[in-house]
Amino acid sequence: MKRRSQAAVAVLLLLACALPALARHETVDELKAKLASAKESDQPKLCLEIARLQLDATEKAYQASQLPQAQALLKEVVDYAQKAGDAARQSRKHIKKTEIEVRKMSRRLQDLKPTVDVDNRQPVQDAVNHLEHIRTQLLMQMFSEH
């Protein structure tokens, strides 16, 4: 009897661990729809998630040499990172988290840049520069409040 209960507990633990992995990830369009009606304090998180998903797609598009699509996606990464920064600063919520996530995106783009054809690197560098500007604004707000 004790073995059965131990086995049942083990099965339940496995299911509990597997459930988050099976959770459905929201699409960019679903996140954009959520963003339209989100509270200002929830907007940074949604914008960062959209930017992260678009960055994933940007990397894949560059790897597949789909330059027009990659550059359009890159623009969305910057636009949504900017929206996240603006919302964080206006709501005065999630500023540190937003800065950290924008820094991670900037580093990913810096890592991507050497893999992109030399003639097509400038838009990636421009995006890095813009993300660094967003970070600077966030850091200035974080340290000027004290």
27-40: per-residue pLDDT in tens? Answer: 999 999 898 889 98
pLDDT at 20: 46
pLDDT range class, residue 18, cuts 50, 70, 90 = very low
Q: Is residue 1 part of a domain?
A: no
The predicted pLDDT at position 144 comes to 85
Query: Do residues 113 and 121 lie in contact, with contact meaning Cβ atoms separated by under 8 Å?
Result: yes
Q: Is the pLDDT of residue 11 over 70?
A: no
Give rounded-to-5 percent helix, strand, coil for the chain. Answer: 85, 0, 15
- Domain count along the chain: 1
Q: Is residue 9 part of a domain?
A: no
Q: Which residue has the higher pLDDT, 74 or 13?
A: 74
- Residue 12 within a domain: no
Average pLDDT for 43-54: 96
The per-residue pLDDT for 41 is 86
Identify which of 11, 137, 128, 7 has the alpha carbon closest to the alpha carbon of residue 58: 128
Let me know if residue 72 belongs to a domain. yes
Residue 76 inside a domain? The answer is yes
* Residue 3 belongs to some domain of the structure: no
Residue-number span of the structural domain to which 114 is assigned: 26-144
